[in-house]
Structure 1
Amino acid sequence: MATERKKLLLRLDPAVHDALARWAGDDLRSTNGQIEFLLRKALADAGRLPGGVGRMRGPGRPPATPEPEGE
C-alpha cells in the first residue's frame, strides 16, 4: 500500500511560477514534480533528507505497461 501524498497550497510570485513551469517543461516534469525535485535536492544537499523517504519517479511519461499475455 502506498503512503498518501501530502497536499500543500503554495503561493508564488507569477514570474517565479512561470520560470519554474518553463524549467519543468525542459526537464519533462510537471511543475509540481519540479518543485518536489528541487526541494528534495535542497534537503539532500543540506543533509536533511530523511533516510526513509521514497524515491521519485524519473522525468517524462511513465513507461507503458505491457498487456498481460494470453488476452
Structure 2
Amino acid sequence: MTKKKNFPLRIDPKLYEIIERWAQDEFRSVNAHIEFLLREAAKREGRLKENKK
C-alpha cells in the first residue's frame, strides 16, 4: 500500500461547501473527492500516466 502525503490545505469556505456537497453526491469523503478531482485534472492535462498492470 502506498503511503499518502499529508499537508495542510487552505481553501475558501464557500468552495469547501461546494466540494463537500459534491462529495456527498458522489458518496466520497471531501478528502477523497479532492484527490479524485486533482487526479482527473492531471490525467486530462496529460501530466499523470496511469500504471497499467
**Unaligned 5+ runs, structure 1:** 53-71
Q: Higher helix proportion, which one?
A: 2
1:21 alignment counterpart = 20
Aligned residue pairs: how many? 51
Q: CA deviation at 1:51?
A: 3.7
Once superposed, what is the RMSD of the aligned Cα atoms?
1.0
Q: Which amino acid aligns with 1:18?
A: E
4+ runs deviating over 3 angstroms? none
Highest RCO, 1 vs 2 (Cα 8 Å, sep ≥ 6):
1
**Identity over the aligned pairs, expressed in percent?**
45
**Unaligned 5+ runs, structure 2:** none
Q: Which has the larger radius of gyration?
A: 1
TM-score, length-normalised on structure 1?
Answer: 0.67
